[in-house]
Structure 1
Amino acid sequence: MRPSSLGQCLGSDPLPPCQKQQPMTGVELDHKVCYLCHSLLTLAGVVVSSQDITPDQWGELQLLCMELDRHISTHIRESPQAMHRTNLKDLATQTYIRWQELLAHCQPQAQYFSAWKDM
């Protein structure tokens, strides 16, 4: 879901022969990339929020949070002319906070507690 990767994929998409369109400008490409990131992040948020987090998934969600912070929150530059970027960063921040709350509530038991269960 990296914006740069999505931009490369969208920018290199060959058009079908029946469509004779001009190549996308940088602004159009930026809008499409942010729209796709926003859609993917919304979908991921719905999926994660609708499931109970198992101990196996806890580590995966923690990794997903790190990736979200690294690729969305830190690599998208906000500007007054590009409010779509600001909206995407806001969604990323809200999603990150929700996922951190899930991680805190579903934290797996420490290793030393498992010995007590066996007794």
Structure 2
Amino acid sequence: MFLYYKAPEPRPGDDRTTDLIRWAAFTCVLVPVVLLWYGASLAGAAGTALGLAAVTAVCRVLLRRSERCAVRLLADEPAPEAHHRGHRQRTGTGSRRGGRHSGGNSPVG
């Protein structure tokens, strides 16, 4: 007898960034509740909630912006070449790899 697990179909908008933001929003609520539970003042817990909410909002904006930039860069990237040279093959006559090389017999200085 075999049991098969079928992963749920991804919904539009579901991605790692969305999950991360959801967890951050959850902690924005959880942390002040825990602070109140352990005897912190209401003003301190509210200030913590506002600070966490502000940090979460800024992180969300930055994450979405980086996603848009990454998509744009991938769209602008040319297709890879059909023939790829190995890393040990030279690309042209007299090509040199790495290190410092002076040009011909000129003094190094």
TM-score of the pair, normalised by structure 1: 0.35
TM-score of the pair, normalised by structure 2: 0.38
Higher helix share: 1
